[in-house]
Amino acid sequence: MTAASDFNGKTVIVTGAGGALGGVVAQCAAARGARLGLIDYAQLNDELVAGAGDGAVALSGVDLTDPDAAARAIDAVLEQAGRLDALINIAGGFVWQTVSDGDAATWDRMYAMNVKTALNATKAALPHMTAAGAGRIVNVGAAGAVKSAAGMGAYAASKAGVMRLTESLAEELKDQGVTVNAVLPTIIDTPTNRADMPDADFSRWVAPVDLAAAILFLASDAARAVTGALLPVPGRV
């Protein structure tokens, strides 16, 4: 089976599907034959949904920091798709704020946006995957959580939490046919990052399509022997 069709017949849920990375991952998964579940807190645009292919389930206004809302969203995709093969947790956020000028609420917000969203979506998906004896979960960590920098404390701490969640869950599930891995990008080449850092050399950053390729490898059958991995995707940063 070629990469162009290696997700045929499979259902892939992408959280944060309306974002710069989520939209590219969804597009690439659809091109490889996946039936998509698109989940986001923001309103999903019509172009993204139209490009997601036949049978796609698009859910906007989903607060994944709420376990019940996450469970309802995952169940809604399963009700229409009938199966769940991969969950790609992209929903999250970023704040640059120094400790001296910031507040504890920022740390709570980063934990909620980055850790709780992944945790809640995963807990909702797990019963379906373990019942099937197969599944792929891919999280988005951050290279900045390996070695943080000034102003990155709250964000890096939350992404470190995602990485520890990935490792712990991989150990829990390694005998149940479900793999859990994470990618660790540096700066992703998004419109927001370009606007925030207009003098940077964008060519050195990680292109969303390249990060999507790494994510979809981990979500594919080809990665069935890989679990608990924290895969650096540094670009040339």
Active-site residue, from 16, 155, 183, 216: 155
H-run or E-run covering 232: strand 230-233
Q: What is the dihedral of CA 54, 60, 66, 70, to 10 degrees?
A: -10
In 3D space, the residue among 10, 93, 30, 22 whose CA is nearest the CA of residue 59 turns out to be: 22
Quick count: other Cβ atoms within 10 Å of Cβ 190? 18
Dig out the tokens for 16 from the structure.
Answer: 């944060």
DSSP state at residue 233:
E
CA distance to 5, 55, 93, 94, 233, per residue, from 141 (Å): 27, 30, 11, 12, 10
Tell me whether residue 41 is one of the annotated catalytic residues: no
Give, to the nearest 10 degrees, the angle between helix 208-218 and helix 20-31. 60
Task: Give catalytic residues, as residue numbers.
Answer: 155
